[in-house]
Amino acid sequence: MQKLPEMEITYLIQNIRILLSFNRYQKNKTNVFVSIYPTNKGGGSNTFAYNIKNWFANNKEKYNQVYNICKADKAIIIADKIDIKILEKAKKRACFIIHRLDEHVESNEDDYRRKKHAKLKKINIFANATVYQSNFVYNNMHPYLEYPERAEIILNGADTAEFYPSEKPGNYIGHVTWGVGSKKRMDIVYETIKKHPNEQFLLIGNHSRSNFDFASLSNVRCIGQVKRQELLYFLHQMKFLFFPSENDPCPNTVIEAIISGVPVCFNPLGGTKEIVKDCGLPLGGFRAILKDYPLYRQKCLLREDLHFDYVAHKYMELN
C-alpha cells in the first residue's frame, strides 16, 4: 500500500479539522444550515449556496455554518433539497426554518416538475418564513403553496469581491446563457444580431448547442463556456447585456452584470424587470439603450441592494 507524502497527510488533517469545526455547534454564534453544498457548476441555487458559504466564512464572529441541520439554530432550505423526515426532526428542535424559492409553476409541466412542486408543498408546511426571489415568484407560488403565513421577497445578490465595475464600459453587446431551452429565447438573440450587422456581439455560454448557427454570423464573437472566475473579464467587455429570457424568476446573470456595471436590455415577462429596475430597458428599448447605455451604467453603480452582503443580512434578520 502506497503511503501518502507527509505534506498531503498534514493537508488532509487540516481539512478534516475544518469540516469538524463546521459541524460543531457553537453557543456564542448563530449556527446556520444551508440545504445544499455548492459544487463547481452554475445555477441560481448553487450560486446562492456558494455565495452564502463565503459570506459565513467572512462573518464567522457572529455566524457558524453547520452541515447537520440537527445542529442548526436556523436553516435555509433551498427549493426541494432536503429530506422531509430530517426537516421534521429539526423543526421539533425549534430550528427556525427558512424556505427559499425561485420556482415557477405551470399548467403543462412534466412528471419531474410536478413531483418536485408537490414536494415543495410538503416542505413548506415546516417553514417559519417563506422567501420568494421576486414578486413574479410570489404571485405564482404563493397561491400554489396555499398562502404561507409569513412571506418575504428577497432578491438574489452577487459577491462584490468577484463582480465589480471596470473603469469604462466595453464595446460589445453581450449575451450569457448556460441553457438553450425555449424560454431562453435564442430565436430573439439570433434575429437581433442579424438585424444589427454594424454592432458587435459577444456570446458567452452554450450557444453552439442551440438550433441557431451563431458562429456563421460575421458580427459575433462566440466564446463558449467559461469558468465562474472568468466571467467578469467578459462582462467588462460589454456595453450592455442583452437578456431576452422569458419567465425567468430571478436570473443571477443579470445581477452579476449590473454589479459589474453592465446595464441590461431585458424581457419584461418574468422577474428580471424587478432586478433591473432603472438599470436598463425592456427589449422594445433596444435602440434607446444602444444610444444611452452610459447613463444606465451610472445607475448600475448605485445598486447596493444587489450586493450579496445586503442580501445575506436580510436572511439572517429573519427570526
What is the C-alpha separation between 295 and 291, in angstroms, rounded? Answer: 9
Residue 318 lies in a domain: no
Global confidence as pTM:
0.88
- Whether residues 225 and 294 share a domain: the answer is yes
* 133 exposure class (CB count in 10 Å sphere: 0-12, 13-18, 19+): buried
Residue 180 lies in a domain: yes
pLDDT above 90: residue 228 = no
Q: What does the pLDDT average to over 99-109? A: 89
Q: What does the pLDDT average to over 2-16? A: 56
Closest to 124 (Cα-Cα) out of 101, 103, 152 = 101
- Whether residues 14 and 148 share a domain: the answer is yes
Q: Which of 122, 154, 186 is the last residue of a domain?
A: 154
| CATH number of domain containing 193 | 3.40.50.2000
Residue 163 lies in a domain: no
Q: By three-state DSSP, how is residue 182 classified?
A: helix
- Whether residues 117 and 65 share a domain: the answer is yes
Confidence of residue 141 (pLDDT cuts 50, 70, 90): very high
pLDDT above 90: residue 106 = no
Confidence of residue 44 (pLDDT cuts 50, 70, 90): confident
The residue type of 181 is G
Angle between helices 84-92 and 111-124 (to 10 degrees): 10
First-residue to last-residue Cα distance in the chain: 52
Residue 315 lies in a domain: no
Residue 20 lies in a domain: yes
| CATH number of domain containing 41 | 3.40.50
Stronger pLDDT, 259 or 42, i.e. the higher one: 259
Q: Which of 154, 185, 202 is the last residue of a domain?
A: 154
Q: How many folded domains does the chain comprise?
A: 2
Residue 160 lies in a domain: no
- Whether residues 211 and 248 share a domain: the answer is yes
Q: What does the pLDDT average to over 172-189? A: 96
Q: By three-state DSSP, how is residue 291 classified?
A: helix
The domain of 116 spans 6-154
pLDDT at 18: 47
List pLDDT tens digits, range 10-36: 556 555 554 554 556 677 899 999 999
- Whether residues 12 and 146 share a domain: the answer is yes
Q: What does the pLDDT average to over 66-83? A: 95
Q: Which of 154, 184, 200 is the last residue of a domain?
A: 154
- Whether residues 86 and 41 share a domain: the answer is yes
- Whether residues 193 and 256 share a domain: the answer is yes
pLDDT at 8: 59
Residue 57 lies in a domain: yes
- Whether residues 179 and 150 share a domain: the answer is no
- Whether residues 19 and 130 share a domain: the answer is yes
Contact status, residue 103 vs residue 142, Cβ threshold 8 Å: no
CA 25, 27, 29, 33: dihedral to nearest 10 degrees?
30
pLDDT at 39: 76
- Whether residues 44 and 129 share a domain: the answer is yes
- Whether residues 115 and 213 share a domain: the answer is no
- Whether residues 21 and 104 share a domain: the answer is yes
